[in-house]
Structure 1
Amino acid sequence: MSIRANARALFLAGGTAILMAAAAAPGHAQTVDRNMFTPAAPVVYDWSGVYAGVSAGASWDTFDTLFGVAPVSTSFDPSNFTAGAYAGMNFQNGPFVYGLELDVNFKTGDDTQLIAGVPVTAQNDWFSTLRGRAGYAYDRYLFYGTGGLAVGDVELSAPGTSFSDTKVGWTIGAGIEAAINDRITLRGEYLYTDLGKVDGSLGGSPFTTEFDSHTVRAGVTYKFQ
């Protein structure tokens, strides 16, 4: 084969290689671009661990009360400011979160009614709960129900005399919690509390009262790592 024929063959082979490379390049570039702009997986918040926090809110109490042998019926309805502290532990399995929480709360406010011309005051100064919590986590939000044991004082007083008893009852409620960062969460919560029936005597006059309350409160939580 002549030198001219060899040169022509080399030229054609080189041109073919260049065209094939050019044809393949755009597809390769698109593949690289697609890989570069693939969205990252969403960040999921971990709710498990030990935590503690403080809360404050309002409580609306009811004392349905009967006084005397020939009962006189009345209802005391104190409205209270409440504040307290809580601590607990969460466990997480996929989106499901469950755990245990203990709280202690103090309350202000009372209600006074005239009973046979005598002013009688009813109040609930404190309550504490030990509750289970179970809920569903959506990234940084937790929607939960809660319920368990409740303990609190039931107090009635009149001039020169008073009665106080610590009662054990139950509580149930629900709430929502949102994570601000890895350590801090905010929550809003509702609790219904029932401490049952109390029998006592005030100034020699027997009475029976049944106590329940509705509490709405907000809290700030610190989660330990």
Structure 2
Amino acid sequence: MKIKTIALVAGSLSLGATAAANAGGFVPPVMDSAPIVAEVEAPVGAWQGGYAGLTLGYAFKGDDRVGLTDSASNTFLGDIGEAELKGANAGIRAGYRWQRGNWVFGPEVGIEGGDIKGDTSGTLLGTDLEAEGKVNHMVALRFKTGYTVRPDMLVYGIAGVGRVDMDYELNGIEDSFSKTGYILGLGVEKQINEKWSVTGEYEYANFGKEDLQFGGLDTEATPKYNNLKVGVNFRF
């Protein structure tokens, strides 16, 4: 009798525990794991390689004051005015660029020519004088260093040397010279597609001083000018 009672009690407790577990027992909470966000680096455009291109420009504010000196006595006679070198120009160029991350750099060679010239006139010692200077062409070696502000856009600085070939004329008497100077500038380049891009540039070119002779008169040419250029490049 006692054994039956114990068995009944044990069975009741077992059923009660099972019912309690099913009805409202402890259920461990399910925790959602936080999403893993991968760091994505900003894309960098492809700029490395060789290229060739064309430019169209306009030169301006090329101040070149014309002062005359008597050759025999080395006496300064005075100024007849200031010839402002200005005019349209065109050029061809070719270069190569290396790329390290966002930095892009490399050399470029080019030649430019066109209608860059300036003239002035005045009177000295009762004589009317007319002077003119003209840039025949300029050969340049530039080094460009830039940074990709966007994958398809490059902003860069320009530093280089140029050798200019010029003609001067005073009252029908001509003199010519070639002179090496420096070039400084800034530019921006925008890719159109994988091969083609367009550019906009500002440059300042200064070729120092050069002594010229016109019969019995001497003058010191100081050619320099600013140049705004637009261009197109094809990348190989």
CA RMSD of aligned residues (A): 2.5
The whole-number CA distance in structure 1 between the counterparts of 2:153 and 2:225 is: 27
- In our comparison, the structure showing a higher alpha carbon Rg is 2
How many residue pairs get matched?
196
Query: What do the CA deviations read for 1:110-133 (whole angstroms, capped 9, x no partner)?
Result: 332224302221222211210111
Counterparts of residues 25-174 of structure 1 (less than 5 Å):
43-60=43-60, 61-69=62-70, 70-73=76-79, 74-116=81-123, 117-138=128-149, 139-174=151-186
Question: TM-score when scaled to structure 1?
Answer: 0.78
Contact 2:203 2:226 in 1 (8 A): yes
Where has structure 1 moved over 6 Å in runs of 4 or more?
none
Question: TM-score when scaled to structure 2?
Answer: 0.75
Write the letter of the residue equivalent to 1:111.
Answer: G
Query: What do the CA deviations read for 1:31-68 (whole angstroms, capped 9, x no partner)?
Result: 9xx99xx9x97653210000000000100122122212
Contact 1:190 1:214 in 2 (8 A): yes
Question: Percent identical across equivalent pairs?
Answer: 24
Look up the SS of the partner of 1:77 in the other structure: strand
Contact 1:163 1:201 in 2 (8 A): yes
The whole-number CA distance in structure 2 between the counterparts of 1:172 and 1:136 is: 17
What displacement does 1:178 show?
0.6
What are the ranges of 5 or more consecutive residues in structure 2 without an aligned counterpart?
Answer: 1-29, 71-75
The whole-number CA distance in structure 1 between the counterparts of 2:85 and 2:207 is: 15
What are the ranges of 5 or more consecutive residues in structure 1 without an aligned counterpart?
Answer: 1-23
